[in-house]
């Protein structure tokens, strides 16, 4: 199964992603987390995954060399190190090619792509292995989690192929417009700046027949939880609150300091 996890910055996206990874990585014979900002080290500290970097030296590795690494470390968080967007994208393409090969031999695998709009951009070249993961991965028994804060910049092929969506809050007109094209309920649900939305399906309402958009919850200036809309290709929908989720691993994605007025 392929799942999309998308929300604007500050919505608790990477925290929710780590909770999903904590629950799912142990279930797969091969698991790779492609960590754009080195946020998922808590999975390593908890013994769920090993840790590795992809830097200037590793950028030149062949798929075969990554296969060797994944065979020795079947569940691994790979952090970007001193690579620009293009170098990271090409390296990720090679790693995904290797993960698909190892996954086929092992009986399946799971790949999580953090900041996926850099790896599969709407404009620009997308490595063939990345597109292949999205389009033919199911037949290879490969699952994937595509994590992004810029839905409008993510490649259309990826968006079209995901069978499950977890979408949080957005205030960008471009991102909200993209949501309108992929969901069957009022996209205004995802705009936290609104006081009310059009009437929502009961499954997505705080109260049946409600009008409340998705909410983010704060305590002492820090996000302590947020609401998300889950939907899938079977037409199922659900409003989810991450305050109900307990995570055993520590997340290493600190929020920026607040800007104070003079």
Q: Cβ(117)–Cβ(150) under 8 Å?
A: yes
For residue range 159-188, list pLDDT tens digits in order.
999 999 999 999 999 999 999 999 999 999
pLDDT of residue 225: 96
pLDDT of residue 256: 55
For residue range 8-41, list pLDDT tens digits in order.
999 999 999 999 999 999 999 999 999 999 999 9
Instruction: Indicate the burial class of 178 (C-beta count within 10 angstroms; 0-12, 13-18, 19 or more).
Output: buried
Say which residue, 139 or 175, is predicted with more confidence: 175
pLDDT of residue 139: 82
Q: What are phi and psi of 106, to 5 degrees?
A: -90, -10
Which DSSP string do the residues of 148-161 spell out, in sequence order? Answer: ES-GGGB-HHHHHH
pLDDT of residue 207: 87
Mean pLDDT over each residue of the chain, to the nearest integer: 94
Whether 204 shows a pLDDT value over 90: the answer reads yes
For residue range 95-115, list pLDDT tens digits in order.
999 999 999 999 999 999 999
Residue 257: pLDDT band (50, 70, 90) is low
pLDDT of residue 209: 83
For residue range 52-69, list pLDDT tens digits in order.
999 999 999 999 999 999
pLDDT of residue 75: 98
- Count Cα neighbours of 176 within 13 Å in the Cβ-side half-sphere: 16
Mean pLDDT of 116-137: 94
pLDDT of residue 220: 86
Domain map (residue ranges) of the chain: 2-244
**Number of helical H runs and strand E runs in the chain:** 8, 10
| Topology (CATH level 3) of domain 2-244 | Rossmann fold (3.40.50)
């Amino acid at each position: 199964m392929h799942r999309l996890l998308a929300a604007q910055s500050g919505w608790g996206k990477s925290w929710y992603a780590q909770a999903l990874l904590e629950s799912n990585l142990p279930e797969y014979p091969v698991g790779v987390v492609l960590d754009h900002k080195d946020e998922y080290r808590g999975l390593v500290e908890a013994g769920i995954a090993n840790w590795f970097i992809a830097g200037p030296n590793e950028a030149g590795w062949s798929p075969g060399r990554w296969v060797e690494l994944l065979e020795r470390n079947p569940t691994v968080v790979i952090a970007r190190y001193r690579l620009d967007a293009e170098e990271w994208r090409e390296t990720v393409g090679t790693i995904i090619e290797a993960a698909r090969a190892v996954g086929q031999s092992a009986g399946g695998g799971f790949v999580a792509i953090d900041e996926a709009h850099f790896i599969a951009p709407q404009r620009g070249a997308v490595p063939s292995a990345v597109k292949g993961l999205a389009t033919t991965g199911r037949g290879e028994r490969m699952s994937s989690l595509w994590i992004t804060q810029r839905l409008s910049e993510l490649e259309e092929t990826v968006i079209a192929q995901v069978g499950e969506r977890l979408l949080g809050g957005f205030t960008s007109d471009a991102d909200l417009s993209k949501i309108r094209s992929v969901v069957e309920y009022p996209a205004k649900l995802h705009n936290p700046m609104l006081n009310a939305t059009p009437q929502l399906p009961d499954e997505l309402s705080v109260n049946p027949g409600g009008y409340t958009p998705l909410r983010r919850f704060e305590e002492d200036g820090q996000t302590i939880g947020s609401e998300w809309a889950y939907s899938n290709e079977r037409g199922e929908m659900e409003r989810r609150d991450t305050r109900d989720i307990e995570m055993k691993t520590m997340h290493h994605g600190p929020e920026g300091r607040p800007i104070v007025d003079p």
